Amino acid sequence: MTDKEVFVEGMKKRTKKFAVDVILFCNSLKNNKASSVITYQLVKSATSLAANYRAACIARSKKEFSVKYVLLLKKQMNLNSG
């Protein structure tokens, strides 16, 4: 396995684990109006990270991968900045 393949597989596993961990955490919160809104947004963000990374991994070219990966990073930076 090349370094790139190791990196790609590692990122797939880490983003999936992150999404699952966020879902499990959100399920442990008390159910009220405020936590429902926050939980919805947090789960959406965590799962979209994993989905968008996997979409980038099936790109048909290096250029397409780069474009999708940069968009993924920008989206995550926007979510993190509030």
pLDDT digits (tens, 9 = 90+) for 29-64: 998 998 899 899 999 988 888 888 888 888 888 888
Chain-centroid distance of CA 13 in Å reads 11
Domain of residue 45, residue span: 3-80
The domain tally of the chain equals: 1
Q: How many whole angstroms separate alpha carbon 54 and alpha carbon 23?
A: 18
CA atoms of 32 and 47, how far apart (whole Å): 22
Q: At what angle do helices 3-28 and 33-57 cross, to 10 degrees?
A: 170
pLDDT at position 55, please? 83
Per-residue pLDDT, 80: 60
Mean predicted lDDT score pLDDT of the chain:
85
Rounded CA-CA distance 71/75 in Å is: 6
pTM over 0.85? The answer is: no
Give 50: exposed, middle or buried? Use CB within 10 Å, 0-12, 13-18, 19+: buried
Q: What band does 68 get if pLDDT is binned at 50, 70 and 90?
A: confident
